[in-house]
Amino acid sequence: MTTITQRMREELVRRNYAEKTTNDYLRIVENFRLFFHKRLDHMRPDDIRRYQVYLLEKRKLGVGTVVWHVAALRFLYVKTLKRYDMREDLPYPKRLPVILSQGEVARLIDSASNLLHYTMLLTLYSAGLRRAELCRLRVANIDSERMMLRIEHGKGDVDREVPLNPMLLERLREYWRWMRPPNYLFPGTNRWWRVDKPITPKVVWNAVQQATRRAGIDKHVTPHTLRHCFATHLLEASVDLRPIQLLMGHKDIESTAIYLHVSKKHLQAAANPLEQIPVSGTAHRRGGRHHSSARQEVWRTTATQLPTTQSA
């Protein structure tokens, strides 16, 4: 580990980043350094630009994976080395989230294979949670008196609260009577036995994939899709961006504004320019084809009546 990566690790620990995120960021930065065989503080904007193109074109990584690489490099240069000018040279690749209709979300949740999966999917959507936030939920985070759900140590180690839907509360009570979790709401397992530790993110992923197949939904659905749907459906219900930002735990309003690009209500609010131009209908087009066919029929009839060369 170089001096710079050691500083970066300390900065990640100081900001209380998750251990997995810390290890991923350090691995990404080390691969970046090895790609150019240069000191990290000697890299120029052109180097970063070339590396992003390499990840997308040569390695053909998915946009989400490249975004993760950009986040790691941004942390290195902006947060660790204080090179704020590099932010503009590290743009996130644009990608619109996949959104399900409310009917599709209902089908997805109802297609859960058991009560555990059903409750996890319902909680993901109703509270707009990230997958890791769902895994770390504790029974004590459910405040039925205030009807609030407390999310602790979210992204960037930020806590927040979201309203607890009465329907979700009833389902959580039903689930609790069945599972009886002592601490973590969704406990993990050890050799097929339930233990008091958080469920793994892979279990949540598999629950969503199984439900997607059972519901017959052809879209690319992940646990984060339900979070995107939560925000988009709020926006379509005329909730302002600022409250949605707080519910989602977004640091920047620009992160919330992306849902304007996928909100059906906002996209359909604009008049289509086709409605403003006086195009004619298709009747004369059909007629044109009819007349053309008629002319061809007349020509065939006339041609059969013409004398052949031999008879002439």
82 part of the active site: no
Residue 18: CB atoms within 10 Å:
14
Ordered DSSP codes for 132-195? HHHHT-BGGGEETTTTEEEE-S-GGG--EEEE--HHHHHHHHHHHHHH--SSBSSEEEETTEEE
Do residues 241 and 257 make contact, with C-beta atoms less than 8 angstroms apart? yes
Choose the catalytic residue: 131, 227, 228, 233.
Answer: 227
Choose the catalytic residue: 107, 150, 155, 194.
Answer: 155
Choose the catalytic residue: 130, 131, 136, 171.
Answer: 130
224 part of the active site: yes
Query: What DSSP designation does 41 have?
Result: G
117 part of the active site: no
Place of tokens 């069945």: 178
Please count the residues of the chain: 312
227 part of the active site: yes
191 part of the active site: no
From the list 247, 12, 228, the residue with the least C-alpha distance to 131 is 228
3-state secondary structure of 228: helix
Query: Can you read off the two tokens belonging to residue 124?
Result: 């993901």
Do residues 80 and 11 make contact, with C-beta atoms less than 8 angstroms apart? yes
Instruction: Report the first-to-last Cα separation within the chain, whole angstroms.
Output: 100
Choose the catalytic residue: 83, 138, 224, 266.
Answer: 224
Residue 247 burial (10 A CB sphere; 0-12, 13-18, 19+): buried
Q: What residues act catalytically?
A: 130, 155, 224, 227, 250, 259
